[in-house]
Amino acid sequence: MEKAKVLHIVEAFGGGVYTMVSSLLCRTCDEFDTYLLCSLRPQTPPNYREQLDSRIHIMEMQHAGRKIGWGDLLNFVEIRRIVKKINPDIIHLHSAKSGFIGRWAINMTKYQVLYTPHGYPFLKLDDPVLRRKIYYYLEKAAAKKGGFTICCSKGEWEISRKVTLNSMYINNGIELQQKNFPEPRFPNLDSDSFKIATMGRICVQKQPHRFQQIAVRHPGHHFLWIGDGELREELQSDNIEITGWTDQNDALKYLNESDIFVLLSAWEGLPIALLEAMYLKKICIVAPIPGMREVICDGEDGFLCDSAERFAEILQGIQSGKYDWRKIARNAQETVKRRFTAEQMANSYKALYRKLLHGGK
Protein backbone atom coordinates (compact mmCIF):
# COMPACT_ATOMS: atom_id res chain seq x y z
CA MET A 1 0.00 0.00 0.00
CA GLU A 2 1.37 3.41 -0.96
CA LYS A 3 2.15 5.69 1.95
CA ALA A 4 0.60 9.15 2.26
CA LYS A 5 3.06 11.96 1.48
CA VAL A 6 3.86 14.57 4.13
CA LEU A 7 5.97 17.58 3.13
CA HIS A 8 7.65 19.61 5.90
CA ILE A 9 8.78 23.12 4.95
CA VAL A 10 11.22 24.59 7.49
CA GLU A 11 12.79 28.01 6.92
CA ALA A 12 14.65 28.11 10.25
CA PHE A 13 16.26 24.65 10.36
CA GLY A 14 18.53 25.30 13.34
CA GLY A 15 18.57 25.35 17.14
CA GLY A 16 15.50 24.04 18.92
CA VAL A 17 13.45 23.97 15.70
CA TYR A 18 16.02 21.61 14.19
CA THR A 19 15.93 19.31 17.22
CA MET A 20 12.13 19.17 17.30
CA VAL A 21 11.58 18.79 13.55
CA SER A 22 14.33 16.22 12.99
CA SER A 23 12.91 14.09 15.79
CA LEU A 24 9.39 14.40 14.34
CA LEU A 25 10.57 13.42 10.85
CA CYS A 26 12.51 10.38 12.05
CA ARG A 27 9.60 9.15 14.16
CA THR A 28 6.93 9.55 11.46
CA CYS A 29 8.74 8.41 8.30
CA ASP A 30 7.91 4.76 9.08
CA GLU A 31 4.22 5.49 8.48
CA PHE A 32 4.37 8.40 6.02
CA ASP A 33 6.40 9.11 2.90
CA THR A 34 8.27 12.08 4.38
CA TYR A 35 9.74 15.06 2.50
CA LEU A 36 11.78 17.96 3.92
CA LEU A 37 12.34 21.34 2.26
CA CYS A 38 14.64 23.31 4.56
CA SER A 39 16.80 26.40 4.86
CA LEU A 40 20.08 25.98 6.71
CA ARG A 41 21.29 28.20 9.56
CA PRO A 42 24.67 28.56 11.33
CA GLN A 43 23.26 26.32 14.08
CA THR A 44 22.33 23.54 11.63
CA PRO A 45 24.65 20.54 12.19
CA PRO A 46 26.99 20.17 9.18
CA ASN A 47 26.20 16.45 9.11
CA TYR A 48 22.45 16.89 9.51
CA ARG A 49 21.73 14.56 6.58
CA GLU A 50 23.50 11.74 8.41
CA GLN A 51 21.41 12.41 11.52
CA LEU A 52 18.12 12.05 9.64
CA ASP A 53 16.57 8.74 8.64
CA SER A 54 17.68 7.69 5.15
CA ARG A 55 14.02 7.29 4.11
CA ILE A 56 13.46 11.07 4.35
CA HIS A 57 13.62 12.95 1.04
CA ILE A 58 15.68 16.11 1.69
CA MET A 59 15.72 19.31 -0.36
CA GLU A 60 17.47 22.56 0.58
CA MET A 61 15.88 25.96 -0.10
CA GLN A 62 17.95 28.01 -2.51
CA HIS A 63 16.65 31.51 -1.72
CA ALA A 64 15.48 31.58 1.92
CA GLY A 65 17.07 33.78 4.58
CA ARG A 66 16.38 35.29 7.98
CA LYS A 67 15.88 38.83 6.67
CA ILE A 68 12.93 39.91 4.55
CA GLY A 69 14.00 40.61 0.96
CA TRP A 70 13.69 39.75 -2.72
CA GLY A 71 14.77 36.21 -1.93
CA ASP A 72 11.35 35.67 -0.33
CA LEU A 73 9.69 36.11 -3.73
CA LEU A 74 11.99 33.47 -5.18
CA ASN A 75 11.23 31.32 -2.15
CA PHE A 76 7.51 31.73 -2.92
CA VAL A 77 8.09 30.43 -6.45
CA GLU A 78 10.28 27.59 -5.18
CA ILE A 79 7.64 26.40 -2.72
CA ARG A 80 4.98 26.41 -5.43
CA ARG A 81 7.25 24.39 -7.72
CA ILE A 82 8.15 21.80 -5.05
CA VAL A 83 4.53 21.37 -3.93
CA LYS A 84 3.39 20.86 -7.52
CA LYS A 85 6.18 18.33 -8.12
CA ILE A 86 5.60 16.25 -4.98
CA ASN A 87 1.82 16.70 -4.72
CA PRO A 88 1.79 15.85 -0.99
CA ASP A 89 -1.25 14.78 0.99
CA ILE A 90 -0.26 16.99 3.95
CA ILE A 91 2.00 20.05 4.12
CA HIS A 92 3.44 21.03 7.50
CA LEU A 93 4.93 24.53 7.67
CA HIS A 94 7.43 25.31 10.45
CA SER A 95 8.42 28.81 11.66
CA ALA A 96 6.85 32.17 10.86
CA LYS A 97 8.39 32.89 7.47
CA SER A 98 7.60 29.43 6.10
CA GLY A 99 4.13 29.76 7.55
CA PHE A 100 3.44 33.09 5.88
CA ILE A 101 5.01 32.51 2.47
CA GLY A 102 3.79 28.92 2.38
CA ARG A 103 0.14 29.75 3.03
CA TRP A 104 0.17 32.30 0.21
CA ALA A 105 2.11 30.06 -2.19
CA ILE A 106 0.04 26.92 -1.64
CA ASN A 107 -3.44 26.26 -3.02
CA MET A 108 -5.18 26.00 0.34
CA THR A 109 -8.33 24.47 -1.16
CA LYS A 110 -6.35 21.58 -2.63
CA TYR A 111 -3.97 20.65 0.20
CA GLN A 112 -4.20 19.89 3.91
CA VAL A 113 -1.92 22.52 5.49
CA LEU A 114 -0.60 22.72 9.07
CA TYR A 115 1.47 25.55 10.53
CA THR A 116 3.65 25.50 13.67
CA PRO A 117 4.99 29.00 14.56
CA HIS A 118 7.75 27.94 17.01
CA GLY A 119 7.42 31.43 18.54
CA TYR A 120 5.33 34.16 16.89
CA PRO A 121 7.35 37.05 15.34
CA PHE A 122 5.02 39.71 16.78
CA LEU A 123 6.40 38.80 20.21
CA LYS A 124 9.91 39.96 19.26
CA LEU A 125 10.78 42.78 21.63
CA ASP A 126 13.81 43.76 19.52
CA ASP A 127 11.49 44.99 16.77
CA PRO A 128 9.73 48.39 16.82
CA VAL A 129 6.12 48.38 17.95
CA LEU A 130 4.86 49.22 14.46
CA ARG A 131 6.72 46.29 12.90
CA ARG A 132 5.35 43.93 15.55
CA LYS A 133 1.83 45.15 14.76
CA ILE A 134 2.47 44.50 11.09
CA TYR A 135 3.65 40.96 11.90
CA TYR A 136 0.49 40.41 13.95
CA TYR A 137 -1.84 41.44 11.14
CA LEU A 138 0.18 39.46 8.60
CA GLU A 139 -0.32 36.39 10.80
CA LYS A 140 -4.05 37.06 10.94
CA ALA A 141 -4.22 37.52 7.15
CA ALA A 142 -2.32 34.28 6.53
CA ALA A 143 -4.57 32.42 8.98
CA LYS A 144 -7.62 33.53 7.00
CA LYS A 145 -6.15 31.81 3.94
CA GLY A 146 -6.86 28.51 5.68
CA GLY A 147 -4.93 25.69 7.24
CA PHE A 148 -4.66 24.71 10.87
CA THR A 149 -2.22 26.09 13.47
CA ILE A 150 -0.49 23.51 15.68
CA CYS A 151 1.34 25.23 18.53
CA CYS A 152 4.26 23.62 20.35
CA SER A 153 2.98 24.43 23.86
CA LYS A 154 -0.16 25.46 25.70
CA GLY A 155 1.30 28.93 26.20
CA GLU A 156 1.86 29.41 22.48
CA TRP A 157 -1.66 28.10 21.81
CA GLU A 158 -3.16 30.68 24.16
CA ILE A 159 -1.36 33.39 22.18
CA SER A 160 -2.47 31.84 18.87
CA ARG A 161 -6.12 32.21 19.88
CA LYS A 162 -5.70 35.96 19.36
CA VAL A 163 -4.73 35.21 15.75
CA THR A 164 -7.05 32.34 14.88
CA LEU A 165 -9.50 30.03 16.63
CA ASN A 166 -8.51 27.30 14.18
CA SER A 167 -5.69 26.03 16.36
CA MET A 168 -4.59 23.45 18.93
CA TYR A 169 -1.33 22.47 20.61
CA ILE A 170 0.95 19.45 20.77
CA ASN A 171 3.78 19.81 23.27
CA ASN A 172 7.36 19.66 22.05
CA GLY A 173 9.23 16.60 23.22
CA ILE A 174 12.81 15.34 23.34
CA GLU A 175 14.46 12.03 22.56
CA LEU A 176 15.32 10.32 25.83
CA GLN A 177 17.28 7.49 24.23
CA GLN A 178 19.36 9.48 21.75
CA LYS A 179 22.92 8.20 21.42
CA ASN A 180 24.51 11.55 22.25
CA PHE A 181 22.60 12.06 25.51
CA PRO A 182 25.09 11.86 28.42
CA GLU A 183 24.19 10.04 31.62
CA PRO A 184 22.19 12.61 33.66
CA ARG A 185 24.28 14.05 36.49
CA PHE A 186 22.94 15.51 39.72
CA PRO A 187 24.06 19.10 40.38
CA ASN A 188 26.95 19.67 42.75
CA LEU A 189 25.26 22.24 44.96
CA ASP A 190 27.07 21.39 48.17
CA SER A 191 30.02 23.50 47.01
CA ASP A 192 30.42 27.27 47.33
CA SER A 193 30.74 27.81 43.58
CA PHE A 194 28.07 26.74 41.10
CA LYS A 195 28.30 26.19 37.34
CA ILE A 196 25.41 28.19 35.87
CA ALA A 197 24.65 27.70 32.17
CA THR A 198 22.28 28.84 29.47
CA MET A 199 21.99 27.70 25.86
CA GLY A 200 21.02 29.31 22.56
CA ARG A 201 21.75 32.21 20.24
CA ILE A 202 23.03 35.35 21.98
CA CYS A 203 20.25 37.64 20.78
CA VAL A 204 17.57 39.95 22.14
CA GLN A 205 15.14 37.06 22.63
CA LYS A 206 17.46 35.40 25.16
CA GLN A 207 18.14 38.72 26.96
CA PRO A 208 21.92 38.45 27.45
CA HIS A 209 21.94 41.74 29.39
CA ARG A 210 20.03 39.98 32.21
CA PHE A 211 22.51 37.10 32.17
CA GLN A 212 25.30 39.70 32.42
CA GLN A 213 23.59 41.49 35.35
CA ILE A 214 23.21 38.26 37.30
CA ALA A 215 26.80 37.19 36.62
CA VAL A 216 28.11 40.54 37.88
CA ARG A 217 26.11 40.16 41.11
CA HIS A 218 27.49 36.65 41.72
CA PRO A 219 31.24 36.77 40.99
CA GLY A 220 31.88 33.57 42.96
CA HIS A 221 29.99 31.43 40.44
CA HIS A 222 30.99 30.35 36.93
CA PHE A 223 28.55 31.35 34.16
CA LEU A 224 28.56 29.57 30.79
CA TRP A 225 26.75 30.57 27.59
CA ILE A 226 26.50 27.53 25.31
CA GLY A 227 26.17 29.08 21.87
CA ASP A 228 27.03 32.31 20.11
CA GLY A 229 25.36 35.28 18.48
CA GLU A 230 25.34 38.91 17.47
CA LEU A 231 25.08 40.28 21.04
CA ARG A 232 28.02 38.43 22.57
CA GLU A 233 29.66 41.79 23.38
CA GLU A 234 27.00 42.29 26.07
CA LEU A 235 28.56 39.43 28.05
CA GLN A 236 31.58 41.17 29.56
CA SER A 237 31.73 39.87 33.14
CA ASP A 238 34.99 38.06 33.98
CA ASN A 239 33.07 35.01 35.26
CA ILE A 240 31.22 34.44 31.95
CA GLU A 241 32.52 31.94 29.39
CA ILE A 242 31.10 31.69 25.86
CA THR A 243 31.57 28.34 24.09
CA GLY A 244 30.72 29.53 20.58
CA TRP A 245 28.65 27.31 18.32
CA THR A 246 29.24 23.64 19.12
CA ASP A 247 27.78 20.39 17.84
CA GLN A 248 24.93 18.83 19.79
CA ASN A 249 27.17 16.30 21.53
CA ASP A 250 29.40 19.00 23.01
CA ALA A 251 26.44 21.25 23.85
CA LEU A 252 24.77 18.49 25.85
CA LYS A 253 28.07 17.66 27.54
CA TYR A 254 28.51 21.30 28.63
CA LEU A 255 24.91 21.32 29.85
CA ASN A 256 25.30 18.11 31.81
CA GLU A 257 28.45 19.38 33.52
CA SER A 258 26.58 22.44 34.82
CA ASP A 259 24.61 22.64 38.06
CA ILE A 260 21.98 25.28 37.27
CA PHE A 261 20.30 26.06 33.95
CA VAL A 262 19.03 29.60 33.39
CA LEU A 263 16.73 30.76 30.60
CA LEU A 264 15.67 34.41 30.86
CA SER A 265 14.02 34.75 27.46
CA ALA A 266 11.56 37.50 26.58
CA TRP A 267 9.48 35.08 24.50
CA GLU A 268 9.50 31.36 23.64
CA GLY A 269 7.45 28.61 22.02
CA LEU A 270 8.54 25.69 24.16
CA PRO A 271 12.34 25.63 24.40
CA ILE A 272 13.99 22.28 23.73
CA ALA A 273 17.02 23.37 25.78
CA LEU A 274 14.84 23.63 28.88
CA LEU A 275 13.50 20.10 28.41
CA GLU A 276 17.03 18.78 27.91
CA ALA A 277 18.26 20.53 31.06
CA MET A 278 15.35 19.18 33.09
CA TYR A 279 15.97 15.64 31.87
CA LEU A 280 19.66 16.00 32.79
CA LYS A 281 18.57 16.85 36.38
CA LYS A 282 19.66 20.49 36.35
CA ILE A 283 18.06 23.05 38.63
CA CYS A 284 16.19 25.19 36.11
CA ILE A 285 15.53 28.89 36.72
CA VAL A 286 13.43 30.42 33.94
CA ALA A 287 11.45 33.51 33.07
CA PRO A 288 7.70 33.26 33.87
CA ILE A 289 6.55 33.56 30.24
CA PRO A 290 4.25 31.44 28.03
CA GLY A 291 6.09 28.36 26.86
CA MET A 292 7.95 27.97 30.17
CA ARG A 293 5.57 28.77 33.02
CA GLU A 294 3.33 25.85 32.05
CA VAL A 295 6.36 23.52 32.07
CA ILE A 296 7.93 24.57 35.38
CA CYS A 297 5.99 24.36 38.64
CA ASP A 298 7.72 26.95 40.82
CA GLY A 299 9.58 25.31 43.70
CA GLU A 300 8.58 21.79 42.63
CA ASP A 301 10.62 20.96 39.52
CA GLY A 302 12.37 24.29 38.98
CA PHE A 303 11.91 27.98 39.61
CA LEU A 304 10.24 30.94 37.91
CA CYS A 305 12.37 34.07 38.06
CA ASP A 306 11.47 37.61 36.93
CA SER A 307 14.38 39.64 38.34
CA ALA A 308 18.01 39.57 39.48
CA GLU A 309 16.72 39.92 43.05
CA ARG A 310 14.55 36.81 42.70
CA PHE A 311 17.53 34.93 41.24
CA ALA A 312 19.62 35.90 44.28
CA GLU A 313 16.84 34.67 46.59
CA ILE A 314 16.75 31.30 44.83
CA LEU A 315 20.52 30.86 45.07
CA GLN A 316 20.43 31.80 48.75
CA GLY A 317 17.60 29.32 49.34
CA ILE A 318 19.61 26.55 47.67
CA GLN A 319 22.74 27.32 49.68
CA SER A 320 20.89 27.62 53.01
CA GLY A 321 19.02 24.35 52.59
CA LYS A 322 15.62 26.00 52.21
CA TYR A 323 15.02 23.99 49.02
CA ASP A 324 15.49 20.24 48.63
CA TRP A 325 17.37 20.62 45.37
CA ARG A 326 17.90 16.87 44.94
CA LYS A 327 14.13 16.34 44.99
CA ILE A 328 13.63 19.27 42.60
CA ALA A 329 16.20 17.79 40.18
CA ARG A 330 14.48 14.39 40.27
CA ASN A 331 11.08 16.00 39.77
CA ALA A 332 12.38 17.91 36.75
CA GLN A 333 13.44 14.71 35.03
CA GLU A 334 10.14 13.01 35.88
CA THR A 335 8.19 15.95 34.44
CA VAL A 336 9.93 15.46 31.08
CA LYS A 337 9.40 11.70 31.12
CA ARG A 338 5.72 12.17 31.93
CA ARG A 339 4.79 15.01 29.58
CA PHE A 340 7.50 16.01 27.10
CA THR A 341 8.96 13.04 25.24
CA ALA A 342 9.52 12.81 21.49
CA GLU A 343 7.48 9.62 21.43
CA GLN A 344 4.43 11.39 22.89
CA MET A 345 4.89 14.31 20.50
CA ALA A 346 5.25 12.09 17.42
CA ASN A 347 2.30 9.88 18.33
CA SER A 348 0.10 12.98 18.66
CA TYR A 349 1.20 14.24 15.24
CA LYS A 350 0.68 10.81 13.69
CA ALA A 351 -2.85 10.74 15.05
CA LEU A 352 -3.50 14.22 13.67
CA TYR A 353 -2.10 13.33 10.22
CA ARG A 354 -4.29 10.22 10.10
CA LYS A 355 -7.33 12.27 11.05
CA LEU A 356 -6.65 14.77 8.25
CA LEU A 357 -6.19 11.97 5.74
CA HIS A 358 -9.59 10.58 6.69
CA GLY A 359 -11.39 13.84 6.20
CA GLY A 360 -11.10 15.04 9.80
CA LYS A 361 -13.01 12.05 11.18
Tally of CA atoms within 13 A in the half-sphere of 225 that contains its CB = 31
Q: What is the pLDDT of residue 359?
A: 77
Arch. (CATH architecture) of 195-339: 3-Layer(aba) Sandwich (3.40)
Q: Are the beta carbons of 212 and 225 closer than 8 angstroms?
A: no
Judge whether residue 361 has pLDDT over 60. Answer: no
Q: Which CATH number fits domain 5-173+341-357: 3.40.50.2000, 3.40.640.10, 1.10.260.40, 3.40.50.300?
A: 3.40.50.2000
Q: What is the pLDDT of residue 63?
A: 67
Q: What is the pLDDT of residue 180?
A: 72
CATH 3.40.50.2000 domain range(s) in the chain: 5-173+341-357, 195-339
Q: Where in the chain does DSSP place strands (E)?
A: 5-13, 33-40, 57-60, 90-94, 112-116, 148-151, 167-169, 195-199, 222-226, 240-242, 260-263, 283-286, 303-304
CB count, 10 Å around CB of 322?
A: 12
Instruction: Name the helix (H) or strand (E) containing 271.
Output: none
Question: How much is the average pLDDT of 24-44?
Answer: 94
Q: Are the beta carbons of 113 and 142 closer than 8 angstroms?
A: no
Question: How much is the average pLDDT of 308-330?
Answer: 95
Judge whether residue 310 has pLDDT over 90. Answer: yes
Q: What is the pLDDT of residue 103?
A: 95
User: If 0-12 CB within 10 Å is exposed, 13-18 middle and 19+ buried, where does residue 152 land?
Assistant: buried
Question: How much is the average pLDDT of 111-134?
Answer: 90
Q: What is the pTM of this model?
A: 0.89
Question: How much is the average pLDDT of 143-170?
Answer: 95
